[in-house]
Amino acid sequence: MRWSLTAIALAFIALFLCLPLLLIITAAFAKGWSAYWSELTDHDTLSAIKLTLLTALITVPLNTVFGIAAAWAITRFEFIGKSLLTTLIDLPFSVSPVISGLIFVLLFGKQGWFGDWLYAHDIKIIFAVPGIVIVTLFITFPFVARELIPLMQEMGNEEEEAALSLGASGWKTFLFITLPNIKWALLYGILLCNARAMGEFGAVSVVSGHIRGLTNTLPLHVEVSYNEYNSVAAFASASILAGLAIVTLILKSFLEWQQAHDRA
Amino acid sequence: MNTFYTHFLKLLLTIALISTATAQAADVKLLNVSYDPTRELYQEYNAAFAKHWKETTGQTVEIQQSHGGSGKQARSVIDGLDADVVTLALAYDVDQLYQKAKLIPEDWQSRLPNNSAPYTSTAVFLVRAGNPKGIKDWDDLVKPGVSVVTPNPKTSGGARWNYLAAYGYALKKYGTDDAAKDFLKKLYKNVAVLDTGARGATVSFVEREIGDVLIAWENEAYLSLKEYGADKYQVVVPSVSILAEPSVAVVDKVASKHGTEKAAEEYLEYLYSKEGQDIAAKNFYRPRDPEILAKYGKQFKALNLFTIDEVFGGWNKAHATHFADGGAFDQIYSQ
């Protein structure tokens, strides 16, 4: 029984995880290493990689700070509207990414609420980099907070209160008491946040405007290249994304291992 | 840990270097918002235009491209996508820029020759090698057992041309609107998959191998031959089809804000030049210039072409009767 279950699980993983990955790699190298390399170093691909990294570099730190602040507020204080805030944090999870994108078009688009004002002041948000960053910020908002809230609830605040009563400042308490306790969950949340920030397609597609070499992120670039019959470019970009995903997975298992090690 | 930081810093530095390298500012920057099947055409044309502009004005020009479904692209420009020029699948989509946002004047279509359509195309059939189902004309598409691939006219500009081509053929042959609707009912019953866009339909037909015949734009059909091999497919030209006129326009409000009116106007006018027309023909669009058309005569088979104004009274009317909610297409497809 144990063996057959394991076999089923392994076959499933091979079929639905390893095979597609293998397919990406073979398609990327279908025309050889040099074709792969020249597609990767193509101006449009490079700019897509750059934009994807830039978006992650801005959104992940911001959402880390927001996530900690939100988790802290929810688990350490009592205030009116607390349950509403907890629900709101989950909003980006429950709304379809396309709708998330459209919300921002309706807000900042030329026909939107702030459209006239933005246009008059020559500020571009939608169909430009700020729009992509904003929707990614929205989409990846819950990851860090969601990881921290259950842990911090479970932890309780005895240690922090002890530190405070011994005269430590709030900042010092956070740095030396709270942070060491939540660090693994925090890193895990950051990792998930980063993975989504780099991989998001739907919402970004709505606000990007698809200007090649300018507002195409890696996932969008994959689609564009594929539609142009340029499958080497499409799968070369896909292999970069897959590579990022694998690095994330390795880091994740490392973190889990470290965490188990820490507790023991 | 120190080495990690140095590596990280190096990476950041590289990214910064790439950014500055790509940021060599051109004198003029244009954004051309276009639809799906023109990718290859404008890739070639942009290079030619940049050369032409450099020779006549001494300025460098950089043209950025955005592609997508024609209707969606028009919507994006209305919502603020900063297009200096639009080159869309049909006049109706360009007209929305006037109707919804007054980005262009009402008479935009008369500003350039030939209804502002520098090249044309038509709906033809792409069939599998040897034409196993013996498809020659529109009548063969409604036969039982023939599986047709065409995109959804609700979302795809190209699909509207396909629909109207079939409708115009049936109207000519059978005389009445009822008979034409009946004909289309049979045709859409044979449709195996309604993709949202023209490229999606092509991919369904050639890569997923769905269907016996793809109703496609002539340029898209020949491009598939080029990309996937002329031994695998062949193009069948029907006896009658529609003259598809993809329209172009300078988006005045955006161009005047960017100060790019001159370059944007010349960008579109140069499409009518010998070189522009030649590039269009090379990419399988029918050129307007008779001389260039003659040069590529073999590629473009003569057939009976009707315009949308002749048969349907223009795009606004055709849209209202056929593609609006509850219009003829909804009636045809729901039954």
pLDDT per residue as tens digits for the range B193-204: 888 777 788 888
Binary contact (A212, B64; C-beta < 8 A) = yes
Nearest CB to A214 within list B18, B36, B64: B64
How far is Cα of residue A171 from the mean position of the Cα atoms in its chain? 28
For residue A112, the chain B residue with the least C-alpha distance is: B79
How many CB atoms neighbour CB B304 within 10 A?
A: 11
Mutant choice from B20, B67, B76 vs A, greatest count of A C-beta within 10 A: B76
In this structure, of A53-62, B47-56, B178-187, B199-208, the range with the lowest mean pLDDT score is B199-208
Q: What is the helix (H) or strand (E) element at residue B233, kind and residue range?
A: strand B233-236
User: Nearest Cα to A194, choosing from A152, A257, A128, A249?
Assistant: A249
Which residues have CB under 8 Å from B254's CB, separation 6+?
B77, B82, B83, B84, B103
A4 touches chain B (CB under 8 A): no
Q: Which residue of A has its CA nearest to B73?
A: A209
CA-closest candidate to residue A126, choices A106, A146, A142, A144: A106
Q: Give the tokens for residue B323.
A: 């593609």
Q: List chain A pLDDT tens, one digit each, 264 residues.
A: 788 999 999 998 888 888 988 988 888 898 888 989 998 889 899 999 999 999 999 999 999 999 999 999 999 888 888 889 889 999 998 999 999 999 999 999 988 888 888 888 888 899 999 999 999 999 999 999 999 999 998 888 888 888 888 888 888 888 888 888 898 899 989 999 999 999 999 999 999 989 988 899 999 999 888 877 788 889 999 999 998 888 888 888 888 888 788 766
Nearest-by-Cβ selection for B31 from A109, A119, A211: A211
Q: Say whether pLDDT at B20 is over 70.
A: no
Which of A122, A204, A210 would you mutate first to test chain B, the one with the most B CBs within 10 A?
A: A210
CB atoms within 10 A of CB A8: 10
Beta-strand relationship, B191-193 and B148-149: parallel
CB < 8 Å to B203, chain A: 227
CB B181 within 8 A of CB B329: no
Find the closest chain A residue to B21 by CA distance. Answer: A43
Identify all chain A residues contacting B158, using CB atoms and an 8 Å cutoff: none
Q: Quick one: which of A8, A6, A35 has its CA closest to A235? A: A35
Token pair in block for residue A217: 């992120």
Q: Compute the distance between CA of residue B51 and CA of residue A120 in angstroms, rounded to an integer.
A: 34
Give CA A164 to chain center in angstroms.
Answer: 35
- Report the SS3 class of residue A134: helix
Distance from CA of B212 to the nearest CA of A (A): 21
Q: Are strands B248-250 and B213-217 parallel, antiparallel or unpaired?
A: unpaired
Q: Does A121 touch chain B (CB under 8 A)?
A: no
> Scanning every residue of chain B, which has its alpha carbon at the shortest distance from the alpha carbon of A230?
B227
pLDDT tier at B316 (50, 70, 90 boundaries)?
confident
The domains found in chain B, sorted by start residue, are 2-117+246-295 (3.40.190.10), 120-244+303-334 (3.40.190.10)
How far apart CA B248 and CA B272 sit, in angstroms, is 11
Mean pLDDT confidence for B178-202? 89
Q: What is the ipTM of this complex?
A: 0.79
Q: Do B82 and A127 touch (CB under 8 A)?
A: yes
Interval B236-256: pLDDT, tens: 999 999 999 999 999 999 999
- Banded pLDDT at B335 (limits 50, 70, 90): low
- Rounded CA-CA distance A179/A198 in Å is 26
Please name the CATH architecture into which domain A32-263 falls: Orthogonal Bundle (1.10)
Whether residues A105 and B79 touch (CB distance < 8 A) is answered with yes
CA distance B291 to B278: 10
Closest partner CB to B79 (pick from A111, A212, A214): A111
State the Cα–Cα distance between residues B78 and B97, nearest whole angstrom. 6
Structure tokens at B16: 């910064």
- Shortest CB distance from B80 goes to which of A50, A110, A213? A110
All structural domains of chain A with their residue ranges:
32-263
Q: What is the pLDDT of residues B258-298, one digit of tens each?
A: 999 999 999 999 999 999 999 999 999 999 999 999 999 88
Q: In DSSP terms, which residues pair with B240 in a beta bridge?
A: B304
Name the pLDDT band for B23 (thresholds 50, 70, 90).
very low
Which pLDDT does position B21 carry in this prediction? 45
